[in-house]
Chains A and B, each alone.
Chain A
Amino acid sequence: MVKQLAIRNLKRSIQDYRIYLFTFTFSITIVYLFQSLVNQQTSIALSQNQLGLMNTILRALEGVNIFVVIAFSALLAGANGFLLKRRQQEFAIYYALGMKQHQVAQLLALETFGTGVIALILGIILGVAISQIMILMTAQLFQTTVINYQFLFSWIAILKTSVYFLIIIIGIFLLNYWQLKRYRITSLLKNKQKTYELKRVLQQRLVLEWSGATLLILSGYFFLQSTWFSKYFFVSIIVSLCMILTCIWLNITSVKLVFQLLIRSKYHYLKQLRFVTIRTSWQQINEHLWSIVGMSLLIVSAWSILTLSFSYRHTSEAVIQTIAPYDATIVFHSYESDKVASPVDLLLEKGVDVKALGDITMTNIYTTETTLNDLLAEYNMANASLYTFFDHGAPSFLRVITYDDYVNIAQLLGIEPIRTRGHEVLFLTNMDDMLPVFEDYLQTHETIDIDGQRYGIREDGYIKLGIENEDFSRQMLIAVVPEREAKWPQYTTVLNVMYDQKKSMQAEQLLDEMYQTLINFDEKQNQYDTQYGSFSVLTKQHVSEQVIGETALVVYIGMYSSIIILLACATLLSLHQLTFVIERKSEYQTLLDIGSSKKQMYQQLKKQMIVYFIVPVLLAFPQVLAILWLMVKLALEIEAGSTMISLAVSTGIIILIIGGYCIVSIQSGWRMFMKQK
């Protein structure tokens, strides 16, 4: 009996509560997909480095997963609780018919696990299917190819996903059982009818509130722009927080104002059933105003994260060129400041003929006793991203190279070197943020003192150029001095290599072997150690793999978390709407009774749902634009062009998810209405 009832209920809930099953299935699919990344490793061509990065990604995702599982449990338990509430009366009847507590529990268990298992099967099938496509994306992200294409099917991923969701299902069951036990039969049988009271808000007050909020945000923005920002860091934080709160306030008043204005426009208002749509939507939105604004903020974060993670990928190419301009850099750190032996000769002894690799330059780096703070103290707070590079505690000393070495480097890269006049110094940096600093500094200074020696400088005497490969930009300032032989101590010699076209493969392979040996700390006997000093090596390939790997990490985690946020929001919106349909079915019925056609009714339901789904998205959009605009403005590594493309892609994803849920909600809602009337 209980079994039959459970099966019947199961069939019904699958039809009626598609949203619940949808969310359940999709969440399983997503968790499976990211679990199955483990398997994708074997099918794509990944270097040793990339494999390491892939493992970092997987570990990071593992951490995200715990958060995801918790979020999904809450979401699904909430959704299921909603369905249960709808069925209060049904359960009351079961009790009234003499069903025992344990039988009701059994029924609930069968239903919960039944739905869970169906969702698990559907979700994993969908996951397996999508992972076949996702591997292409992974390969693309790592900028490599699929070498060994095979049907991807990961038992481990299935097992892990199943365990996660079994825990969730058990949690849902316990929660709902507890919820059901709390109901008293009498209250179960009572059908509460909500009464709606609409507060009228004065339009003038709304306009005032709205302009006030806008003004506050704008003035907050200009405050942060001003020099005050750098001087009172704490105040700025408080101002930023206030701006976020004001944003929420602005959101709320905007919604109110728009609806008030719509209601005021009498002529258009009374066309067809428009006024019913507007009034009813307003009613629904007003009732959930806070949660809608909350959701719009969540959508803002998902939307921005998606966009930024996509444009991160677009900018990586330019980044690599900036931080690793050479095919390879070999650095010799000598133990003594006096030059005892040539690094080229030392390398030759170790079996590495650098000169045979291609064109090379040798650059001596001297360390002065002047610190960066001595020179640039006034810019210490100019830019939040530079702040960390200035010396705090430990002084960072200015490093210099000779003009001859600079000319060699420029020629190696095929750039025209800047000519200097007389006793002049040039500034080099590989940090974009430093360029405006130099521009300002060189306009306001005519000379510069380095360890008591005075040099001339001129307005255009700076250039963006890295003197060695690095895995991120950190050459704030390298000064090029006019001396032939500098008098400062010199511990570091940099060998920059541009491979010979014909031998680039072998060269890369050779240096990669050297790199692998050097970064392997376990190996005590480092074959590249000499009695005079030690070597390090970094090829462009290494840097590029590193950057691409980081990009993949950012894109994956961004996609993962934002899609989950979106699923959660869409599900909540759906559940709100379906609750409304059920609560107000008698009002819809009235519409039918007084002569509106079924088609009009369907249109009505559809419009209301669309409005409800669209409002948080519309609220989110200007905020997303503002965030992106700020990002493009503040972070120089994000450029407007690629951000626009990414914005289009992420908008597509948002429309797909929210729109999909909207369509399913319309269908479910209509079905519920037609069945329950």
Chain B
Amino acid sequence: MSEILQVKQLEKYYGKNGVLTKALDDVTFSVERGEFVSIMGPSGSGKTTLLNCIATFDRMSAGDILIEGASLANMSASQAETFRRDQLGFVFQEFQLLTTLTAFENIALALTIQGVKEPNVTKRIMTIAERLDIVGILDKFPSQLSGGQKQRVAAARALVTNPVLILADEPTGALDSKSANQLLETLKYTHEQDQTAILLVTHDALAASYSDRVIFIKDGQFFNELYRGKENRNEFFQRIMEILIVLGGQNG
């Protein structure tokens, strides 16, 4: 069984005073172990909702999500917590670093929550920090860092626990293109080194071109998908742009 994530007929409604918004409507797809998948779609198409359902931040309304064969629908709250802690890594658009902690401590957080003790904490942080080129800023507080540095610290926090699946919701949204590329290169490298699966939500075709496959959704429904195959990044980028034109609407 090589599928790490299976999304089956997933539906999600938001109801307010009897008026239902269908944020996700019958979405089905799966992600292989070590696969790098991007999700694209216009603003409001349900990308964040999808990620939140997988991350168990949000409860699904119908359908099921299986991660390594385990069904999230039947999972208790505390099982979901453990699952989140041990299997998933998150990178958020707004970084979500704790302002009171140094970069080092922000990364350490993910490990200490799992119960990892010294000196393993420092050892593992140093390894990941070297890979992300942030050794020099580990003693700084988030307010002293640039956006790109912050996002790399956030990525280090997600990667340091060696998760099987990384969920990233527009991680490059708040970055300049140079920082964005640097981050994507690192994600790509990690994905190739450790066989970590990545699910990247983005509105940026260039970012999506780093992945193996792009899934397009529109109005909460599956719209199309593209495999990269043997193409280089530039060719893949061109094809993604074509779909985006068909997809229309404002990306975001």
- Evaluate contact between A266 and B88: CB separation under 8 angstroms: no
Q: State which of A7-15, A275-283, A461-469 sits at the interface with chain B.
A: A275-283
Interface residue? B105 (CB, 8 A): yes
User: A378 contacts which chain B residues (CB < 8 A)?
Assistant: none
User: A586 contacts which chain B residues (CB < 8 A)?
Assistant: 96
- Evaluate contact between B101 and A596: CB separation under 8 angstroms: no
Interface residue? A597 (CB, 8 A): yes
In the bound assembly, the distance between CA atoms of A587 and B106 in angstroms comes to: 11
Query: Could you say which of B88, B97, B117, B157 contacts A271, with CB atoms under 8 Å apart?
Result: B117
Contact with A along B85-102 (1 / 0, CB 8 A): 110101010001111110
- Evaluate contact between B98 and A590: CB separation under 8 angstroms: yes
User: B184 contacts which chain A residues (CB < 8 A)?
Assistant: none
Chain A min CB distance to B89 (Å): 8
User: B82 contacts which chain A residues (CB < 8 A)?
Assistant: 597
- Evaluate contact between A593 and B90: CB separation under 8 angstroms: yes
- Evaluate contact between B57 and A270: CB separation under 8 angstroms: no
- Evaluate contact between A595 and B55: CB separation under 8 angstroms: no
Instruction: Given the known inter-chain contacts A270-B118, A270-B121, please indicate yes or no for A593 contacting B101, CB distance below 8 A.
Output: no
Interface residue? B185 (CB, 8 A): no
- Residue of B81, B86, B100, B105 most packed against chain A (CB within 10 A): B100
Interface residue? B250 (CB, 8 A): no
Interface residue? B232 (CB, 8 A): no
Chain B min CB distance to A669 (Å): 17
- Evaluate contact between B157 and A594: CB separation under 8 angstroms: yes
- Evaluate contact between A280 and B90: CB separation under 8 angstroms: no
Chain B min CB distance to A201 (Å): 14
Instruction: Given the known inter-chain contacts A270-B108, A272-B112, A275-B105, please indicate yes or no for A198 contacting B118, CB distance below 8 A.
Output: no
- Evaluate contact between A270 and B112: CB separation under 8 angstroms: yes
Interface residue? A267 (CB, 8 A): yes
User: A600 contacts which chain B residues (CB < 8 A)?
Assistant: 113
- Evaluate contact between B114 and A279: CB separation under 8 angstroms: no
Interface residue? A273 (CB, 8 A): yes
- Evaluate contact between B100 and A279: CB separation under 8 angstroms: yes
Interface residue? A225 (CB, 8 A): no
Instruction: Given the known inter-chain contacts A195-B143, A598-B81, please indicate yes or no for A283 contacting B117, CB distance below 8 A.
Output: no
Interface residue? A197 (CB, 8 A): yes
Q: Is the interface of B mostly helix, strand, loop or mixed?
A: helix
User: B143 contacts which chain A residues (CB < 8 A)?
Assistant: 195-197
In the bound assembly, the distance between CA atoms of A600 and B85 in angstroms comes to: 12
In the bound assembly, the distance between CA atoms of A276 and B112 in angstroms comes to: 10
User: A283 contacts which chain B residues (CB < 8 A)?
Assistant: 100
Contact with B along A589-607 (1 / 0, CB 8 A): 0110111111010000000
Contact with A along B203-240 (1 / 0, CB 8 A): 00000000000000000000000000000000000000
- Residue of A270, A280, A591, A598 most packed against chain B (CB within 10 A): A270
User: B105 contacts which chain A residues (CB < 8 A)?
Assistant: 275-276, 279
- Evaluate contact between A595 and B100: CB separation under 8 angstroms: no
Among A265-317, those with CB < 8 Å from B are 266-267, 270-273, 275-276, 279-280, 282-283
In the bound assembly, the distance between CA atoms of A283 and B77 in angstroms comes to: 31
Instruction: Given the known inter-chain contacts A280-B100, A590-B96, please indicate yes or no for A267 contacting B118, CB distance below 8 A.
Output: yes
Chain A interface size, as a band, is: 20 to 34
- Evaluate contact between A198 and B96: CB separation under 8 angstroms: no
Residue ID in chain B nearest A286 by CB atoms: B100
In the bound assembly, the distance between CA atoms of A597 and B85 in angstroms comes to: 8
- Evaluate contact between A594 and B100: CB separation under 8 angstroms: no
- Residue of A197, A267, A275, A598 most packed against chain B (CB within 10 A): A275
Residue ID in chain A nearest B111 by CB atoms: A270
User: B85 contacts which chain A residues (CB < 8 A)?
Assistant: 594-597
Interface residue? B193 (CB, 8 A): no
Interface residue? B84 (CB, 8 A): yes
- Evaluate contact between B99 and A595: CB separation under 8 angstroms: no
Instruction: Given the known inter-chain contacts A196-B143, A276-B109, please indicate yes or no for A595 contacting B96, CB distance below 8 A.
Output: no
Query: Could you say which of B98, B114, B122 contacts A595, with CB atoms under 8 Å apart?
Result: B114
- Evaluate contact between B86 and A595: CB separation under 8 angstroms: yes
In the bound assembly, the distance between CA atoms of A283 and B101 in angstroms comes to: 10
- Evaluate contact between B114 and A198: CB separation under 8 angstroms: no
Among A475-513, those with CB < 8 Å from B are none
Residue ID in chain A nearest B89 by CB atoms: A594
User: B121 contacts which chain A residues (CB < 8 A)?
Assistant: 270
- Evaluate contact between A596 and B113: CB separation under 8 angstroms: yes
In the bound assembly, the distance between CA atoms of A242 and B101 in angstroms comes to: 37
- Evaluate contact between B77 and A598: CB separation under 8 angstroms: yes
Interface residue? B21 (CB, 8 A): no
Query: Could you say which of A266, A587, A593 contacts B99, with CB atoms under 8 Å apart?
Result: A587
In the bound assembly, the distance between CA atoms of A595 and B83 in angstroms comes to: 8
User: A594 contacts which chain B residues (CB < 8 A)?
Assistant: 84-85, 90, 109-110, 113, 157-158
In the bound assembly, the distance between CA atoms of A195 and B100 in angstroms comes to: 10
Chain B min CB distance to A577 (Å): 15
Instruction: Given the known inter-chain contacts A196-B100, A196-B143, A600-B113, please indicate yes or no for A595 contacting B84, CB distance below 8 A.
Output: yes
Interface residue? B78 (CB, 8 A): yes
Chain B min CB distance to A435 (Å): 59
- Evaluate contact between A593 and B110: CB separation under 8 angstroms: no
Among A568-599, those with CB < 8 Å from B are 586-587, 590-591, 593-598
- Evaluate contact between B96 and A597: CB separation under 8 angstroms: no
User: B118 contacts which chain A residues (CB < 8 A)?
Assistant: 266-267, 270-271
In the bound assembly, the distance between CA atoms of A227 and B81 in angstroms comes to: 69
- Evaluate contact between A198 and B141: CB separation under 8 angstroms: yes
User: B108 contacts which chain A residues (CB < 8 A)?
Assistant: 270, 275
User: B112 contacts which chain A residues (CB < 8 A)?
Assistant: 270-273, 275
Contact with A along B112-129 (1 / 0, CB 8 A): 111101100110000000
In the bound assembly, the distance between CA atoms of A227 and B119 in angstroms comes to: 59
- Evaluate contact between B55 and A593: CB separation under 8 angstroms: yes
Chain A min CB distance to B105 (Å): 6
User: B90 contacts which chain A residues (CB < 8 A)?
Assistant: 593-594
User: B81 contacts which chain A residues (CB < 8 A)?
Assistant: 595-598
In the bound assembly, the distance between CA atoms of A195 and B150 in angstroms comes to: 15
User: B92 contacts which chain A residues (CB < 8 A)?
Assistant: 593
In the bound assembly, the distance between CA atoms of A413 and B242 in angstroms comes to: 115
Among A149-187, those with CB < 8 Å from B are none
Contact with A along B66-87 (1 / 0, CB 8 A): 0000000000011001101110
User: A587 contacts which chain B residues (CB < 8 A)?
Assistant: 96, 98-100
In the bound assembly, the distance between CA atoms of A273 and B113 in angstroms comes to: 7
Residue ID in chain A nearest B115 by CB atoms: A272
- Evaluate contact between A276 and B98: CB separation under 8 angstroms: yes
Instruction: Given the known inter-chain contacts A275-B105, A276-B98, please indicate yes or no for A595 contacting B141, CB distance below 8 A.
Output: no
In the bound assembly, the distance between CA atoms of A590 and B93 in angstroms comes to: 12
- Evaluate contact between A196 and B88: CB separation under 8 angstroms: no
In the bound assembly, the distance between CA atoms of A282 and B118 in angstroms comes to: 23
- Evaluate contact between B113 and A279: CB separation under 8 angstroms: no
- Evaluate contact between B99 and A195: CB separation under 8 angstroms: yes
- Evaluate contact between A196 and B99: CB separation under 8 angstroms: yes
User: B115 contacts which chain A residues (CB < 8 A)?
Assistant: 272
In the bound assembly, the distance between CA atoms of A272 and B99 in angstroms comes to: 19
In the bound assembly, the distance between CA atoms of A233 and B141 in angstroms comes to: 52
Chain B min CB distance to A567 (Å): 30
Chain A min CB distance to B196 (Å): 16
- Evaluate contact between B98 and A593: CB separation under 8 angstroms: no
**Besides A196-B143, A594-B84, A597-B78, 8 other CB < 8 A contacts?**
A270-B121, A272-B112, A273-B109, A276-B98, A276-B105, A279-B105, A595-B114, A597-B85
- B-to-A contact residues, CB < 8 Å: 55, 57, 77-78, 81-82, 84-86, 88, 90, 92, 96-101, 105, 108-110, 112-115, 117-118, 121-122, 141, 143, 157-158, 161
A sample of 28 cross-chain residue pairs with beta-carbon separation below 8 angstroms, ordered by A number, consists of A195-B143, A196-B141, A270-B112, A270-B117, A270-B118, A270-B121, A271-B112, A271-B118, A272-B112, A272-B115, A275-B105, A276-B101, A276-B109, A279-B105, A280-B100, A586-B96, A590-B98, A593-B90, A594-B85, A594-B109, A594-B158, A595-B85, A595-B86, A595-B88, A595-B110, A596-B113, A597-B85, A598-B77
Closest 9 CB pairs of A and B: A595-B85, A590-B96, A597-B81, A283-B100, A279-B100, A595-B84, A196-B99, A596-B113, A280-B100
